Amino acid sequence: MPEASTIRVAVGTLRAPKLNALRSALDACGPWLQPNAAFEIAGFEVPSDVRSTPLSRLETMQGAHNRANALRHSAHQRGELFHYLVGLEGGLEIVTLDGERRVFLESWAYVVDAGGQGHYGQSGGITLPDDLARRVVVDGIDLSEAVDAFAGLRGIRDGLGAWGILTRGLITREDAFRIAAINAFSPFFKSRSTLAATP
């Protein structure tokens, strides 16, 4: 990618927690991507082509991938150049250990550069309480609706998110997507020097 003073980044969302997460991630890791560059972020509503609450890690990763690729396609049609295109997707991972089902909420990012090279990043996972997991996995209720009912609030995904409710605000939805985005950007970092080095 040619040297540039402004790095343009497209992200497949208009939701504030995801946009804020990407801004925060680029504030932290931007110097590793392009020293002294300014990062310009543009949000777009694009489809994930997966369920509103993905029910597997693979489906969640696919949703993030689909959003980034939809951005690439629409940018190409408009003749717009973006240095990076980002898809962010939250979903569930369902595992059975020792005969017991456990359901984890995960946040994933997929970042693709202008040349088509892409990488995934993940936030980690948090266990959903059994009653909340049952409403989503068994009853088929969207996670955002189920969490609102669980917490007795409205519009949680545009604020703390399920992460914030389950951790009592210690880790928010924005925090989770920030970590996922940094992890997805890390293979693009220009410096491979020691961990003690600063950008």
- The structure tokens listed for 34 are 């392009």
The CATH architecture to which 6-188 belongs is Alpha-Beta Complex (3.90)
Work out the mean pLDDT of the chain and round it to a whole number: 92
pLDDT at 158: 84
Q: Where are the domains of the chain?
A: 6-188
C-alpha angle with apex 85: 83 to 89, nearest 5 degrees?
Answer: 160
Q: What is the pLDDT of residues 92-135, one digit of tens each?
A: 999 999 999 999 999 999 999 999 999 999 999 999 999 999 99
Nearest C-alpha neighbor of 187 from the set 134, 118, 89: 118
**Strand 6-11, strand 84-97: pairing:** parallel
Burial 72-91 (b: 16+ CB within 10 A, else e): beebeeeeeebbbbbbbbbb
pTM above 0.85, yes or no: yes
Q: What is the pLDDT of residues 62-98, one digit of tens each?
A: 999 999 999 999 999 999 999 999 999 999 999 999 9
- Please say if the pLDDT value at position 7 is more than 60: yes
